Amino acid sequence: MKISVLKQEDNEVTFEIEGAHPGFLNALRRTAMYEVPALAIEDVYYTKNSSVLYDEIIAHRLGLIPLKTDLKSYNLPSECSCKGKLCAKCSVKGSLKAKGPATVYAEDMKFKDPTVKAIYPKMMITKLLEGQEIELDFVAVLGKGMEHTKWSGCHVYYRGIPGFDTKNADLDKAFEKIPANVAKKTGKTIEITDYPKWLPAYEETLEKNGVKITNSEENFILTIESWGQVAPEKILNEAVSILQQKLKEVKLK
């Protein structure tokens, strides 16, 4: 199997994978989305809440705020030496205090570990009017997306590289609507030059003009879009080692 990077941005990486199988790609996708851990707020303890939002609603909003996660610094509570009692190795405590009139943002949360912080500081938690107040403590823990989506750190998708049958096609007409920096045609051959920019709409245009399209079952374009907790290339590495660990557990008799 050969993997190369086609496009790399802070929170999004697109890979070309050659010589794989759809089953493997799907296992990798599911592992990355549902088994690679991320930090999220799990418990909230209120001292004051006179805002218009109920305690449960604020707790729900806090839980969904993506938090910068260093997977080396924290354990999953279920795998920690404290056996899930939430020690400093598997949880991080914090607090939030605000008095109206004010808009309360994710950046107002204070964590005991300064390396943990909200990735999008201006995510709004609530608005407070004159005289309204919130004061609460919270605990964030590592978890997996398979348990709750707040612990899922990414969206992963892939597709087989398209192949084109252009025997009965009018390529001149089709290419009136396909930008020159995405694909080019030489005679009856179509070559995609920029996969990350290739859209389903271009395939519809080709099909309307007589091109038959089949997707490869061996060569794929895979994209990992991270919400920011863990970098996409780390998500891929982590997903691969989780898959390897799982395969080790399978013993053939």
Angle at 118 between CA 233 and CA 13, to 5 degrees: 20
Pick out residues in 73-92 that bind Zn ion (CB under 5 A).
Answer: 80, 82, 87, 89-90
Cβ closest to Zn ion, residue 94 vs residue 228: 94
For the bound state, the minimum distance from the C-beta of residue 83 to Zn ion, rounded and expressed in Å, comes to 8
Residues touching Zn ion, count (CB under 5 A)? 5
What's the rounded Cα separation, in Å, for the pair 174 and 170? 6
Cβ closest to Zn ion, residue 142 vs residue 230: 142
Task: State yes or no: residue 39 binds Zn ion (CB under 5 A).
Answer: no
Cβ closest to Zn ion, residue 139 vs residue 182: 139
> How many residues belong to the chain?
253
For the bound state, the minimum distance from the C-beta of residue 144 to Zn ion, rounded and expressed in Å, comes to 16
For the bound state, the minimum distance from the C-beta of residue 125 to Zn ion, rounded and expressed in Å, comes to 27
Contacting residues for 63 by C-beta, under 8 A, at least 6 apart: 40, 41, 42, 148, 150
What's the rounded Cα separation, in Å, for the pair 16 and 28? 14
For the bound state, the minimum distance from the C-beta of residue 149 to Zn ion, rounded and expressed in Å, comes to 23
For the bound state, the minimum distance from the C-beta of residue 148 to Zn ion, rounded and expressed in Å, comes to 19
Q: Which helix (H) or strand (E) holds 238?
A: helix 232-249
Cβ closest to Zn ion, residue 39 vs residue 90: 90
Cβ closest to Zn ion, residue 58 vs residue 80: 80
What's the rounded Cα separation, in Å, for the pair 122 and 244? 38
How would you list the strands of the sheet with 133-143, edge to edge?
A: 38-49, 133-143, 91-99, 110-111
**Chain positions contacting Zn ion, by CB under 5 A:** 80, 82, 87, 89-90
